[in-house]
Structure 1
Amino acid sequence: MIQTRSNAMTVDVEDYFQVAAFENQVKFSDWGKKYEVRVEQNTDRLLALFDEHQTKATFFMLGWVAEHCPQLVKRIVEQGHELASHGYAHQRANTQSPEIFREDVYRAKSFLEDTTGIAVHGYRAPSFSVNPDNEWVFEILADVGFTFSSSTYPVKRDLYGAPDWPRLKYRRPEGIVEIPLPTNTSTGFKLPIGGGGFFRLYPYKMSQWLISQFMEQTNQPFCFYFHPWEIDDKQPRMAGIPLKSRFRHYLNLNRMESRLEQLLTDFKWDTVSHAYQLNG
């Protein structure tokens, strides 16, 4: 074990055909019909892996997945993990009106709570799609009953980014505790290091060093994220997608699970609420 302080392990529970990179090729009406649903079996693999490494995580569950796999939602909670919301239809928050956003998050939160009988406190926007243009998101989250969010990435990317916003956990004026995805600033610009595709892109030793450096320099937990489809190199390949999207999505899928196992060994992980000592 390299570090003894707990970090936050988070999983965005969505399937391979629901990602933002494929939103122009995949119709919402085809979800679960034209495309094979693989998220339940992949998430069960993660539950087994976390159990093996005595790790608890926060699962940001997509509402559509929860409705189609309600027993999976129950297993996540029964095994002691934290259940949070990823919205309902994986529509980026910066493409929604306030009215549509409220309906989306309320629907997902209500189903998760009705299915498990527990309160859901956390939310993560699809593709970290909260920025200065839609700060009203936080007011709606507070009004609906959320207490924390992990919806911002203080970098500049094509689909997301709020580069001028705080890098570390802070409390919003609306009362929501926001936990941005981690970045490295030692090179003079903000390098995204929170997980996902960048974890598959960087050599593992580089990720290991970046996580350790972040913890030492900030004295804060590290918030790591990834998706169940990232350990599934047998997933069906999408046809007709742009080269950039193909590269981002399929890069090193066959290496992800072994890297994740090493990550679970090298660092101590827990839920968002425990790692950041949040009160419900």
Structure 2
Amino acid sequence: MNTRITNAFTCDVEDYFQVSALAPHFPREGWDAVPCRIERNVDRILEMLDGHDACGTFFTLGWIAERFPQLIRRIADNGHEVASHGYGHERASAMTPEAFLADIRLAKAVLEDITGKNVSGYRAPSFSIGTANLWAHDCIAEAGYGYSSSVYPVKHDHYGIPDAPRFPWRLDNGLVEVPVTTVRAFGRNWPAGGGGFFRLLPYSVSRWQIARVNADDKRPAIFYFHPWEIDPEQPRVQEASAKTRFRHYVNLERTAERLDRLLSDFAWGRADEVFRDAA
């Protein structure tokens, strides 16, 4: 196993009821009435990272940060990067440029006020920057971010730009886009950076994919997941479609163990440090 390359370990800090696929069942105006499970799950993740002497990046919702400021400080105080996931988990593709800019500016201000540190990274909810809203990159730069991890170069029913670069690139406005990792095979890009595929497929697939990117492409990988993915006891939304229930709940009981193996098998760091000179 090639451990000489340090990969980027990233977590999208949102709770189970804030997932885009479950939005019809959890209206945003009712979020404050839903019991949060985010704190216990993130604390567990922090313990896992500490046990492996690893660092990571936490793309955090401003809505979560306002309600759990001590949690956000614990993330920062443990040496991890606090980055922005926007304020209210609204898809960039569903917003006007003006509303999007206001959202990401607010999230940045909230996070910086809590941590006392500059927030340089941003990730759009659900990787919702596509060919129809590439203007979002200009808003991200205007808001003062240094890099974005918002484009997934895959074909997917909800997101993706299949022909986007597989590795970090710099836009004309100076912003660096750091796409989630893919493996190139059979003429297309295959997801290799976590999410639902990490839960659905055997762990050996993810391990092989990341090792291949490190060895063949000689590049660091960027991996992502969510705190609710290590929480099999979260409330189940039986009213959701069968497809949504499968995608959201498959193998939740196995994710923590797989993350522990992943942290053992590879070297991991913060996205802002791993990709500092990438583009």
Task: Give the deviation of 1:32 after TM superposition.
Answer: 2.8
Q: Distance in 1 between matches of 2:183 and 2:2?
A: 19
Task: Give the deviation of 1:27 after TM superposition.
Answer: 0.1
Q: Please state whether the residue corresponding to 1:200 is helix, strand or coil.
A: helix
Task: Give the deviation of 1:217 after TM superposition.
Answer: 2.3
Aligned position for 1:245: 244
Q: Please state whether the residue corresponding to 1:190 is helix, strand or coil.
A: strand
Q: Please state whether the residue corresponding to 1:133 is helix, strand or coil.
A: helix
Aligned position for 1:135: 134
Q: Please state whether the residue corresponding to 2:32 is helix, strand or coil.
A: coil
Task: Give the deviation of 1:234 after TM superposition.
Answer: 0.6
Q: CA-to-partner distance for each residue in 1:28-68, whole Å, 9 max, x for gaps?
A: 011130x2100111001101111111110000001110011
> Aligned Cα RMSD in Å?
1.2
Aligned position for 2:110: 111
1:1-280 to structure 2, matched below 5 A, reads 2-33=2-33, 35-278=34-277
Q: CA-to-partner distance for each residue in 1:249-271, whole Å, 9 max, x for gaps?
A: 00000000000000000000000
Note if contact 2:196-2:247 (Cα within 8 Å) is conserved in structure 1.
Answer: yes
Q: Please state whether the residue corresponding to 2:141 is helix, strand or coil.
A: helix
Task: Give the deviation of 1:116 after TM superposition.
Answer: 1.2
Task: Give the deviation of 1:278 after TM superposition.
Answer: 4.6
Which segments of 5 or more consecutive residues in structure 1 lack a partner in the other structure? none
Q: Distance in 2 between matches of 1:183 and 1:50?
A: 23
Q: Distance in 1 between matches of 2:57 and 2:78?
A: 12
Task: Give the deviation of 1:185 after TM superposition.
Answer: 1.5
Q: Distance in 2 between matches of 1:244 and 1:170?
A: 34
Q: 2:84 is matched by which residue type in structure 1?
A: S
Task: Give the deviation of 1:14 after TM superposition.
Answer: 0.3
Q: Distance in 1 between matches of 2:265 and 2:2?
A: 5
Q: Distance in 2 between matches of 1:181 and 1:12?
A: 13
Q: Please state whether the residue corresponding to 1:191 is helix, strand or coil.
A: strand
Q: Distance in 2 between matches of 1:155 and 1:206?
A: 17
Q: Distance in 2 between matches of 1:216 and 1:137?
A: 33
The count of aligned residue pairs is 278
Task: Give the deviation of 1:2 after TM superposition.
Answer: 4.0
Q: Distance in 2 between matches of 1:187 and 1:30?
A: 45
Q: Distance in 2 between matches of 1:204 and 1:230?
A: 15
Q: Please state whether the residue corresponding to 1:221 is helix, strand or coil.
A: coil
The 4+ residue runs of structure 1 with deviation greater than 4 A are none
Q: What is the identity percentage for the equivalent residue pairs of Structure 1 and Structure 2?
A: 48
Q: Please state whether the residue corresponding to 1:23 is helix, strand or coil.
A: helix
The two structures have a TM-score, normalised by structure 1, of 0.97
Q: Please state whether the residue corresponding to 1:59 is helix, strand or coil.
A: strand
Q: Please state whether the residue corresponding to 1:224 is helix, strand or coil.
A: strand
Q: Please state whether the residue corresponding to 1:241 is helix, strand or coil.
A: coil
Q: 2:13 is matched by which residue type in structure 1?
A: V
